[in-house]
């Protein structure tokens, strides 16, 4: 009896997704645990793996809306003599001494018929290097846009997986553009049609460009509108003198990175300051559930990350139990997965408070929107030197505006202002965070 590839349980409050891409073509031989399809929910793109080896038969098409439990494909037993074709590829020695973790992934196995064809000389390697199943959607898109061969790129991810930064590094190293004469017959058959005449060639210039909204963008729009309609959102502002944070960071960043293997950024200071402030004002870490107020004892910190697919908010779980190094390591891990579109749904769910840093884009001041059902979100902004009065003297200090948006149904103005002042106090005297005072 053949096995099936089904839509797994996605995450809390998510019951449907869109099948955005098949990673293996219909009728291909696949290995157990090999990614075969990509589902996109309102929170992330998720790779779906085959539960066992066999021949995949698609039951749904790319673009279909699917629900938890739906059958995406069937897995038929592999034909006799094809066992070797679906065996796991052998490990390959490290390709570079300068990056010990970097390994070149072996080509994906081919069916016997395809292997016979591959034995004949070809003008060039396959355009995808046989590695398509090991690439994330973002990496695959970048490789296709630049017409690269994955086999020429050294992967630094687990098991030699090619990451987005590996492709960018390959391009920076001066990878030569593909020559038309070197294109393989398969590439020639699948080459795109000639582009329409550009305005410079006398062609008409289009007045507009229409593209469908992604599932994530649709969901972001829905959630933002719902937040505006269901919560009584109010924002309070303050400004923070970051002289102490900058001085402490400059003094210890090298030894911090040497000891912990991660950079000392600003997010750990802000996360720790927020955690301590939430202990004093627990209403901002609570939520309204029906006619009840649910107070949480744990802090799961959402950290907004901008990606090419839109804004995602991975969650640093149990941030209240972490020190600076633990916070920085977890944020770095989650941000890397966000850029590669490999975040799991569990890593995107269950946040109790959110920090959003618009300063990385140059924002000086903004009013962040709540991430329901949370009751608070802190907006960070650009650090800018400004004249301020200190001890009746005008001095130049690195200042940042901070904004707290909160649900006024649950949080009173006094509590919101108190929370923001506590955050300000700890950032202006970061030694307090080391002593938990």
- Catalytic residue numbers, as ranges: 408, 412
Judged by DSSP in three states, 91 sits in: coil
Judged by DSSP in three states, 70 sits in: coil
Which residue's entry shows tokens 């279909």?
Answer: 64
Burial 293-304 (b: 16+ CB within 10 A, else e): eeeeeebbbbbb
Listed as own residue / partner, the contacts of 240-243 with beta carbons closer than 8 Å and 24 or more positions apart are 240/399, 240/400, 240/401, 240/402, 240/423, 240/424, 240/427, 240/428, 241/388, 241/397, 241/398, 241/399, 241/428, 242/383, 242/397, 242/398, 242/399, 242/400, 242/427, 242/428, 243/397, 243/398, 243/428
- Beta-carbon contacts of 113 under 8 Å, excluding residues fewer than 6 positions away, are none
Q: What CA–CA distances, in Å, run from 87 to 32, 98, 119, 354?
A: 9, 30, 19, 45
The answer to whether 5 and 75 have CB atoms below 8 angstroms apart is yes
Burial class (CB in 10 A: 0-12, 13-18, 19+), 187: middle
Question: Would you state the structure tokens that stand for residue 96, as one six-digit string?
Answer: 């570079």
CA–CA distance, 391 with 397 (Å, rounded to integer):
13
CA–CA distance, 118 with 270 (Å, rounded to integer):
56
Q: Report the first-to-last Cα separation within the chain, whole angstroms.
A: 64
Degrees to nearest 5, angle at CA 57 with 51 and 85? 65
Degrees to nearest 5, angle at CA 50 with 216 and 335? 40
Which residue's entry shows tokens 């937040």?
Answer: 227
Q: What CA–CA distances, in Å, run from 115 to 14, 81, 186, 270?
A: 42, 12, 15, 56
The answer to whether 30 and 75 have CB atoms below 8 angstroms apart is yes
Query: Using the 8-state DSSP alphabet, how is residue 32 labeled?
Result: T
């Amino acid at each position: 009896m053949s096995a099936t590839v089904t839509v797994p349980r996605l995450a809390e409050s998510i019951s449907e997704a869109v099948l955005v891409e098949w990673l293996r073509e219909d009728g291909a031989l696949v290995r157990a645990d090999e990614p075969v399809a990509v589902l996109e929910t309102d929170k992330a793109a998720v790779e779906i793996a085959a539960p066992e080896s066999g021949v995949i038969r698609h039951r749904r098409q790319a673009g279909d809306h699917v629900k938890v439990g739906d059958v995406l494909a069937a897995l038929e037993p592999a034909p006799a003599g094809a066992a070797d074709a679906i065996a796991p590829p052998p490990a390959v020695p490290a390709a570079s001494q300068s990056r010990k973790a970097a390994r070149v992934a072996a080509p994906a196995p081919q069916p016997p018929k395809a292997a016979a064809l591959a034995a004949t000389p070809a003008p060039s390697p396959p355009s995808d290097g046989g590695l398509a199943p090991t690439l994330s959607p973002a990496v695959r898109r970048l490789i296709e846009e630049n017409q690269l061969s994955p086999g020429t790129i050294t992967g630094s991810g687990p098991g030699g997986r090619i990451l987005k930064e590996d492709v960018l590094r390959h391009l920076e190293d001066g990878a030569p553009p593909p020559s038309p004469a070197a294109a393989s017959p398969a590439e020639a058959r699948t080459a795109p049609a000639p582009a329409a005449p550009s305005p410079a060639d006398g062609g008409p210039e289009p007045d507009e460009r229409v593209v469908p909204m992604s599932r994530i963008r649709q969901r972001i729009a829905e959630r933002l509108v719902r937040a505006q309609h269901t919560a009584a959102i109010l924002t309070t502002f303050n400004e923070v003198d970051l002289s102490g944070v900058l001085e402490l960071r400059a003094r210890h960043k090298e030894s911090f990175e040497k000891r912990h293997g991660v950079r000392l950024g600003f997010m750990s200071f802000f996360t720790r300051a927020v955690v301590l402030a939430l202990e004093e004002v627990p209403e901002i870490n609570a939520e309204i559930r029906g006619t009840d107020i649910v107070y949480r004892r744990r802090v799961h910190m959402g950290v907004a990350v901008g990606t090419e697919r839109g804004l995602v908010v991975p969650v640093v779980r149990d941030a209240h139990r972490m020190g600076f190094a633990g916070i920085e390591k977890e944020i770095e891990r989650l941000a890397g997965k966000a850029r590669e579109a490999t975040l799991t749904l569990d890593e995107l769910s269950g946040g109790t408070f959110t920090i959003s840093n618009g300063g990385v884009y140059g924002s000086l001041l903004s009013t962040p929107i709540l991430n329901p059902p949370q009751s608070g979100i802190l907006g960070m902004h650009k650090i800018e030197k400004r004249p301020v009065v200190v001890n009746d003297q005008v001095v130049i200090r690195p200042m940042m505006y901070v904004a707290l948006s909160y649900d006024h149904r649950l949080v009173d103005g006094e509590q919101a202002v108190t929370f923001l002042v506590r955050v300000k106090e700890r950032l202006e005297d970061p030694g307090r965070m080391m002593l938990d005072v």
